[in-house]
Structure 1
């Protein structure tokens, strides 16, 4: 009920009570022959009116405040407000505040649950990724300790394999350190203008041997006779391209091709596309490709090596440049990773 309407309602109640009291007094006068002056009725009615108004309003206000206090004690983050300070004509503010409060808390709980699930999955993935090479190293070393070290051929083979496992451990730790720095903004970007074509060619040269092992050709989509300048951290973008091209080599089709192309998004941005003609990725996997340690095919991915953090690092680096990265993939046809950069 509105406060204004309640005030008029309380006046009506008081007038009815005064009327009833006056009727009782008149009946008393009629049966006892006692006559009271009209002035007494007026003064008595006025006094009763004031007293009853004060009692009813204070009583109701006290009761409502008591109920509000109980509600606010249950939702302690709400700012406490007294009836006397209410400017609105109704108590809907309380319902609105509680609805806002409950919605906010539900969102916080949802976010906390998401973070908890993410933390649990992340720790489980880290433990699993570290456990595999650790057990590998431990197995080889125990075999050597138990006597296999006497055989020179076995010793060299097992030490090389143990060294490969240690290298993978170093990659995982290094990539985790990189992601931590990117997330905490501890890794400062060195923004400068450079020729992206030159960087792409450098990446092709670095990964030429890995590509030859799978008979994969690395090439640009066309001959670029003039430089394409971008404004970014050259070392970090080189790392992005290395990760994307290496990813296309690992999961591309043997004897296939990896093509890097450049498109103009607008007058201020260009897009770099890395396309392979491999097996492609299912849509439900595409949405999770940039998650840490997420692997489309667990067994095949581990056989290919790597830390499982490459695409996650790529995403962090591109977002640190305030740019975007995405992927399109079709089963049986291949995948295209593309990211934007500011033109130099």
Structure 2
């Protein structure tokens, strides 16, 4: 590292001036009492002392500060600060203070970010363990019971094997979702962009989930009549998964006798926004920012009766962001929620 001094000389000049004034005054007094007083000699002596003191002080102070500042740079460089390693050493205190403060601020932010990541990692591993543990123990319990002799009862054997199969299906479902979200986060999941009618897709989703909605007496419908197709550009299967997850959630957390509506609006000249609105339980305000986190559940009871991997909304967010689009949430606790996302609109020439 090269030395880069900013020579203000303020300290050296003042110190040299004090030494010179004292020396000239002392010599003048001695000359007055013991020798013949000579102004020229006193002035020459004073200037000589001033110059000599200035250079000695300036050099010594710079070397003194440099050695200690270099140690600071070396210590900081040891902490893997590429910014400090690439900078020349300065003994200017204002510049050094700014550099150290910036370094300290950056390191503080880095430490806080690492703490957040560590907390997220612990929470994620705990959630994965919890999600996998329930179906694993279920399967293990039924198989152990069968091995202990229950397999001799044909009725019981079939019943337990069917329940074990459901546990295995849930495990497969969680693993497949984890695999998908991992690919989406790493950008390994490619999109197959095609033009399709979002109205038709929405109708297909409602037809597919009609039976599940009927079980809770929830009506599925459009917010208004759509007489013409609305074409968008996107990955058909992945947008279908987005719609499935959002409508299924509205049914899962909907009220008995409630409703779920799908609306499609022009947002700008080349964008449409798709809205899924329900009058269900709603979401508390403090939970909304965490909705798209992996395994985050609004229901803290741990009840898994409604199924799902806990990754649905996280996958939805990643799919929409992979399309370079936005997803939004509005909710009032006890009144209902609205999830909406944008898609690129495709203008089709009307045929006569």
User: TM-score normalized by structure 2?
Assistant: 0.87
Match of 2:54 in 1: 53
Supply the distance in 1 between the matched residues of 2:256 and 2:38 (Cα, whole angstroms).
Answer: 116
Change (3 A) 1:174 1:82: closer
Match of 2:234 in 1: 232
Supply the distance in 2 between the matched residues of 1:240 and 1:315 (Cα, whole angstroms).
Answer: 8
> Once the 2 structures are TM-superposed, how far is the Cα of residue 94 of structure 1 from its aligned partner?
1.1
Change (3 A) 1:257 1:300: farther
> Once the 2 structures are TM-superposed, how far is the Cα of residue 27 of structure 1 from its aligned partner?
6.0
Match of 2:225 in 1: 223
Match of 1:15 in 2: 20
Q: Secondary structure at the match of 2:290?
A: coil
RMSD over aligned CA atoms reads: 2.5
Mapping of 1:186-205 within 5 angstroms? Answer: 186-205=188-207
Unaligned runs of 5+ in 2: 1-6, 347-352
Change (3 A) 1:222 1:44: closer
Match of 2:94 in 1: 92
Contact 2:73/2:89 (<8 A) preserved: no
Match of 1:5 in 2: 10
Supply the distance in 2 between the matched residues of 1:231 and 1:135 (Cα, whole angstroms).
Answer: 44
Q: Secondary structure at the match of 1:280?
A: coil
Contact 1:258/1:276 (<8 A) preserved: yes
Match of 1:111 in 2: 113
Contact 1:258/1:275 (<8 A) preserved: yes
Match of 1:134 in 2: 136
After alignment, is 237-246 or 7-16 more displaced? Answer: 7-16
Unaligned runs of 5+ in 1: none
Match of 1:280 in 2: 282
Q: Secondary structure at the match of 1:287?
A: helix
1:269-304: CA deviations, max 9, x gaps? Answer: 211111122222221222222111111224475000
Match of 1:327 in 2: 329
> Once the 2 structures are TM-superposed, how far is the Cα of residue 198 of structure 1 from its aligned partner?
1.3
User: TM-score normalized by structure 1?
Assistant: 0.88
1:163 to 2:165 alignment: yes
> Once the 2 structures are TM-superposed, how far is the Cα of residue 23 of structure 1 from its aligned partner?
3.0
Supply the distance in 1 between the matched residues of 2:278 and 2:303 (Cα, whole angstroms).
Answer: 17
1:69 to 2:74 alignment: no
Supply the distance in 2 between the matched residues of 1:20 and 1:63 (Cα, whole angstroms).
Answer: 30
Aligned residue pair count: 334
Change (3 A) 1:29 1:142: same
1:149-188: CA deviations, max 9, x gaps? Answer: 1111111111111111111101100000011001000011
Change (3 A) 1:299 1:151: farther
Supply the distance in 2 between the matched residues of 1:51 and 1:106 (Cα, whole angstroms).
Answer: 46
Supply the distance in 2 between the matched residues of 1:46 and 1:277 (Cα, whole angstroms).
Answer: 91
Q: Secondary structure at the match of 2:304?
A: helix
Change (3 A) 1:70 1:107: same
> Once the 2 structures are TM-superposed, how far is the Cα of residue 196 of structure 1 from its aligned partner?
0.6
Contact 2:28/2:42 (<8 A) preserved: no
